[in-house]
A and B are shown apart, each in its own frame.
Chain A
Amino acid sequence: ILNVEQSPQSLHVQEGDSTNFTCSFPSSNFYALHWYRWETAKSPEALFVMTLNGDEKKKGRISATLNTKEGYSYLYIKGSQPEDSATYLCALLIYNQGGKLIFGQGTELSVKP
């Protein structure tokens, strides 16, 4: 069974704190890595799609890095704001299995004002 692991499971920070999450995956199965943001009562929305080892992507205060050789990706949020409160999901597109996109369990972020 292929596992995409995310840590921590949940995180509570104060407004202004910077934070980061980890997504781990079997490097041999890598084809692409997605990050999504999922707010309560809404649908997941894509943040980044990363395909190359060493990729770094940035969108505003949120950035992500990718290491395919060791099988991990980091998501960083600089200066967290209450509106960043959401569950952050990573998903692995598995090599040689069509479009099989497997999601991790997510990291639930709560930012207090």
Chain B
Amino acid sequence: DSGVTQTPKHLITATGQRVTLRCSPRSGDLSVYWYQQSLDQGLQFLIQYYNGEERAKGNILERFSAQQFPDLHSELNLSSLELGDSALYFCASNRGDTGELFFGEGSRLTVL
């Protein structure tokens, strides 16, 4: 158990809908990362937050947004969903330095 909690574990929805994925980082970790893993793709960096502030941004679509709240949990919002958004979304956390990431179990999103 990494100490990182992601909900929901599985989500099935329709095109055009909006979903929110939630992540609670490991106790004491200030930094949260979001990654997307699509079929046959590696882990694609979406965005990173540190202590409530956006710190680094990857190839995150404009339809996607994220935030980190004062209690350090983070949410990834995906809107106007398309079939290609079906993927496993991982959240990871660390203390915010160069240290290793601790990954949650992922949220598997299926868009029908």
Q: Which chain A residues numbered 68 to 113 have a C-beta less than 8 Å away from chain B?
A: 89, 91, 93, 97-106
Contact A106 B42 (CB under 8 A): yes
Task: Give chain A residues whose Cβ lies under 8 Å from the Cβ of B44.
Answer: 103
- How long is the Cα–Cα vector from A53 to B105 in the complex, in angstroms? 33
Q: Which chain A residues numbered 30 to 47 have a C-beta less than 8 Å away from chain B?
A: 31-32, 34, 36, 42-46
Query: Nearest Cβ in chain A — how far from B108, in angstroms?
Result: 11
Contact A51 B42 (CB under 8 A): no
Contact B48 A43 (CB under 8 A): no
Contact B45 A43 (CB under 8 A): no
User: What is the interface of chain A, defined by CB distance below 8 A to chain B?
Assistant: 31-32, 34, 36, 42-46, 49, 51, 89, 91, 93, 97-106
Q: Can you list 11 pairs linking A and B with CB atoms under 8 Å apart? A: A43-B2, A44-B101, A45-B103, A93-B98, A98-B48, A98-B55, A99-B48, A99-B96, A100-B48, A101-B45, A104-B42
Chain A interface secondary structure, helix, strand, loop or mixed?
strand
Contact A103 B100 (CB under 8 A): no
- How long is the Cα–Cα vector from A42 to B50 in the complex, in angstroms? 25
Which of B42, B56, B104 is in CB contact (< 8 Å) with A98? B56
- How long is the Cα–Cα vector from A102 to B58 in the complex, in angstroms? 9
Return the chain B residue nearest A6 by Cβ. B42
Which of A36, A99, A104 is in CB contact (< 8 Å) with B55? A99
Which of B31, B33, B43, B99 is in CB contact (< 8 Å) with A89? B43
